[in-house]
């Protein structure tokens, strides 16, 4: 668990730094959205820490929705996170399909 916490903190720092760098910083992270398990961690952090471009938002929501559809505690946690994020961001033009 401690290792996962450190990895999550590191990802948070990377994403924060990328947002400070602007579009180029975010663009540099996009290849990780295609590489599990970094894809899930990155998707959550990108949405938690900023407002990514629409195409990135779409990718992140799809990744999180796939995670939310999985059985077990991680899937339940992702589903709760997704529901709460969508409630906080009613302006988002993208709405994942209901499970």
Domains of the chain: total: 1
Residue 11 has pLDDT above 70, yes or no: yes
Token code pair at residue 71:
């059985």
What is the dihedral sign for C-alpha 55, 56, 59, 62? negative
**Residues shown for the chain:** 99
Q: Does some domain include residue 36?
A: yes
Is residue 64, in this structure, part of any structural domain at all? yes
Q: Per the domain annotation, does 99 fall within a domain?
A: no
Q: Residue 54 belongs to what domain range?
A: 2-88
pTM: 0.87
Closest by Cα among 14, 12, 63 to 35:
63
Q: Decide: 60 and 94 in contact? Cβ < 8 Å.
A: no
25-47 tens-digit pLDDT: 999 999 999 999 889 999 999 99
Residue 97 is assigned to a structural domain of this protein = no
Is 98 a member of any domain?
A: no
Reading the block at residue 34, the tokens are 């295609």
* Cα–Cα distance for residue pair 27/25, rounded to 1 Å: 5
């Amino acid at each position: 668990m401690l290792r996962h916490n450190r990895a999550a903190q590191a990802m948070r720092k990377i994403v924060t730094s990328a947002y400070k760098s602007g579009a180029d910083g975010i663009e540099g992270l996009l290849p990780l959205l295609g590489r599990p398990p970094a894809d899930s961690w990155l998707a959550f952090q990108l949405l938690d820490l900023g407002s990514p471009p629409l195409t990135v938002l779409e990718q992140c929501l799809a990744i999180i929705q796939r995670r939310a559809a999985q059985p077990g505690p991680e899937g339940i946690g992702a589903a709760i996170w997704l529901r709460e994020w969508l409630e906080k961001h009613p302006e988002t033009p993208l709405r994942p399909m209901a499970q």
